């Protein structure tokens, strides 16, 4: 066993993975990944929301091998855990997005490639054997946006995940103080031609989107369109009316509007308004398999993780990414057995202690 494999085998939780990664990361890189907006209240609320919910164990159920698979847009996924879009992987590890693609493929999980990736979607797709989606930031030039979409779809991305909650960046104080910058020679190829991003760190001047832009995107996309950044149930209803194919309940990991609600707290009302018409995913604060179980019990189809696999990438490249997923999936399997649930598709509020109040 290699030294790296031995190190990873000793890491048994995502909080421990973060701590090990922090020890080898520059303070600039760690603050970029870990930080949120302003006083980082929403970052903390995302975690606290999961901690407030108690689970109701069951005994003598005879379950020993629960089914963690889910189906989204006709694709069977081995686990309801996707790698959410995160930027600048080559600033976190020399192999960057190539390592992430290999780590995701080793576990079979779907990865949502960021518009601000530091590797082209074509190069990523050549390494990936697991499904890819593509995260899109609209650009002011619709024709350029169309070209980016066409590139992503041609490369094999099976869905577009449109970030709609960032018309401007939040007050990212800790990131600003850290003076995060891309290493020399590294840029963002999908945004290189906009004249606004390229090597810049997420330019705060963004296009003010409307529902008309979503309708336009649906008219040119040849794959499902998912909106990421929904918290308000009225926005969820508008999304369904606009014909989108899925939603991600997200507060951008607490990185934009501080004191926005925790995503888990926002989830039930969104689920109620959507009424099962399209899949609803959730991100923000997932650190344990029990978190995954709670989100699905409250109606989510699947969850996205971001920071945890970035820590895995920083620590050990592809192997760190896959170890992150393996830990979370194993904990989910344990939680399913201990709550007497044979499949994630059987999850509901019956596994929650205070399910009547929920």
- Active-site residues: which are they? 252
Give the 3-state secondary structure of residue 100.
helix
Q: What is the distance between the alpha carbons of residues 130 and 289, in angstroms, rounded to a whole number?
A: 21
Give the 3-state secondary structure of residue 283.
strand
Distances from the Cα of 95 to the Cα of 24, 88, 98, 102, 108, angstroms: 16, 11, 6, 10, 19
Q: Which two tokens stand for residue 182?
A: 């891309």
- For the chain, list the strands marked E by DSSP: 70-72, 75-77, 81-83, 111-113, 132-136, 160-163, 225-230, 246-249, 280-283, 302-305
Bridge partner list, 248: 228, 281
Q: What is the distance between the alpha carbons of residues 50 and 44, in angstroms, rounded to a whole number?
A: 11
CB 306 within 8 A of CB 347: no
- The torsion angle over the Cα atoms of residues 157, 158, 160 and 161, rounded to 10 degrees, is -100
Bridge partner list, 67: 343
Q: What is the distance between the alpha carbons of residues 194 and 198, in angstroms, rounded to a whole number?
A: 7
In eight-state DSSP terms, residue 275 is T
CB 91 within 8 A of CB 29: yes
Q: What is the distance between the alpha carbons of residues 142 and 113, in angstroms, rounded to a whole number?
A: 20
Q: Which two tokens stand for residue 263?
A: 């995503």
> Nearest to residue 53, comparing CAs of 233, 327, 265, 344?
265
> Nearest to residue 86, comparing CAs of 107, 110, 113, 121?
113
- The torsion angle over the Cα atoms of residues 314, 316, 320 and 322, rounded to 10 degrees, is 120
Q: Which two tokens stand for residue 257?
A: 């509007």
CB 36 within 8 A of CB 255: yes
């Amino acid at each position: 066993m290699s030294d790296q494999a031995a190190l990873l085998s000793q890491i048994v939780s995502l909080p421990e993975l973060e701590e090990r990664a922090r020890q080898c990361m520059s303070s600039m890189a760690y603050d970029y990944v870990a930080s949120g907006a302003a006083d980082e209240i929403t970052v903390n609320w995302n975690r606290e929301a999961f901690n407030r919910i108690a689970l109701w164990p069951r005994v003598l159920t005879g379950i020993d091998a629960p089914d963690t698979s889910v189906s989204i847009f006709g694709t069977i996924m081995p686990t309801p855990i996707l790698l959410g879009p995160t930027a600048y992987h080559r600033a976190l590890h020399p192999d960057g997005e190539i390592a992430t693609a290999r780590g995701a493929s080793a576990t079979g999980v779907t990865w949502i490639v960021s518009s601000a990736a530091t590797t082209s979607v074509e190069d990523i797709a050549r390494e990936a054997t697991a499904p890819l989606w593509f995260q899109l930031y609209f650009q002011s030039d619709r024709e350029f946006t169309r070209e980016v979409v066409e590139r992503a779809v041609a490369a094999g991305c099976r869905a577009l995940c449109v970030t709609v909650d960032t018309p401007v960046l939040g007050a990212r104080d800790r990131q600003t103080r850290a003076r995060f910058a891309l290493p020399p020679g590294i840029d963002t190829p999908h945004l290189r031609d906009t004249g606004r991003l390229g090597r810049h760190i997420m330019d705060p001047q963004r296009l003010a989107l409307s529902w008309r832009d979503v309708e336009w995107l649906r008219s040119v996309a040849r794959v499902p369109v998912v909106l990421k950044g929904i918290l308000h149930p009225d926005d969820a209803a508008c999304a369904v009316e606009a014909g989108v194919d899925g939603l991600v309940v997200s507060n951008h990991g607490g990185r934009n509007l501080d004191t926005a609600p925790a995503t888990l707290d926002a989830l039930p009302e969104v689920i109620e308004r959507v009424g099962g018409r399209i899949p609803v995913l959730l991100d923000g604060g997932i650190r344990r398999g029990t978190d995954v179980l709670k989100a699905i019990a409250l109606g989510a189809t699947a969850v996205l993780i971001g920071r945890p696999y970035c820590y895995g990438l920083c620590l050990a490249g592809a192997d760190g990414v896959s170890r992150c997923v393996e830990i979370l999936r194993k904990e989910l399997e344990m939680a399913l057995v201990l709550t007497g649930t044979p499949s994630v598709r059987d999850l509901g509020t019956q596994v929650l202690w205070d399910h009547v109040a929920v």
